Amino acid sequence: MQNIVFWNGNKSSARQNYETALLQACLKATDHQYGSMQIRVDNTDYSNAEDEAHVFVNGADILVTVAGNVKFKDQQKLVIPQPLTKGLLGYRLLLVRDESLKKFAQINTPQQLQALSIGIPETWADAALFRHNQYKVIERGTLDNLFLLLKNATFDYVALGVNEVEQIFQQQVESLGGISIEPSLMLYYPFPLVFYVNPNKSVLAERIEIGLKLIMANGEHEMLFNHYHADVTQRLNLRIRKIHTLANPMLPSEMSDFSATLLD
């Protein structure tokens, strides 16, 4: 049986679980054509952007990341330009200090939000996007210490994807006290997740592309998405929040017309 290395670090466990299940489904759907393949998951977190950019050189075969990720701009890779999560990661809720809740409830324009500072972990692709949209960005630390920095007023808020914000809040934020998920606002930017494949693994890239088409056609992708993210729209009141939309200059040309379908 063949083995492949799936690098799945630098992200929340909520994302890791879904993305691993998705890759497994793509491989299983193509077993008859390509043979069985075992996944070895590497969840190593890289605090240095340069180390993350070299994961293929260091033995990874495949990963999931945002389309146009600037860290991989100069790296050879095979990109499968098929969105994996209906644009879910581009819908962002804010975590703020409790004493700031009243101030955030009064925000109605992008300019009001741009006047405040957002904290983003070092290496995250979002930082360049927020700067492009004239937001005040403070890049500091990792996901593990981000919320202590927020509590200590290093910045005004943190924005996390709706697919991971609840789990991260329960596991890493709630025990700190004094921080809440802001109930009225939401940011949105086109931020599709796609597979990047090692440039030396063209057969694997071909297989994943075929597998994706198969599971999207037979409904398995929809089942997986619903299993992990089914009622997120209702649970987090996404349809009634004030949405502030940002542009994403990193989107590659082949995905320039991408539009999220989460709220359709």
For 56-86, the pLDDT digits (tens) are 999 999 999 999 998 899 999 999 999 999 9
CATH code for residues 2-86+192-230: 3.40.190.10
What pLDDT was estimated at residue 24? 98
Mean pLDDT of 205-210: 98
What pLDDT was estimated at residue 117? 98
Percent of the chain past pLDDT 70, that is, above it, reads 100
Query: In this structure, which CATH number among 3.40.50.150, 3.90.550.10, 3.50.50.60, 3.40.190.10 belongs to the domain 88-188?
Result: 3.40.190.10
Mean pLDDT of 151-175: 95
216: Cβ–Cβ under 8 A, 6 or more apart, which residues? 82, 222
- Please state the separation of Cα 9 from the chain's center in Å: 12
Q: How confident is the model at residue 216 (pLDDT cuts 50, 70, 90)?
A: very high
Mean pLDDT of 167-195: 96
Q: Residue 4 in contact with residue 62, Cβ under 8 Å?
A: yes
Task: Please give the model's pTM, rounded to 2 decimal places.
Answer: 0.89
Which residue intervals of the chain bear CATH 3.40.190.10?
Answer: 2-86+192-230, 88-188
64: Cβ–Cβ under 8 A, 6 or more apart, which residues? 8, 15, 19, 22, 23, 84, 193, 194, 195, 196
Q: Residue 165 in contact with residue 10, Cβ under 8 Å?
A: no
pLDDT in tens, 7-57: 999 888 889 999 999 999 999 999 999 999 999 999 999 988 899 999 999
Q: Residue 146 in contact with residue 47, Cβ under 8 Å?
A: no
Whether 160 shows a pLDDT value over 80: the answer reads yes
What pLDDT was estimated at residue 188? 97
What pLDDT was estimated at residue 233? 93
What pLDDT was estimated at residue 264? 86
Amino acid at site 210: I
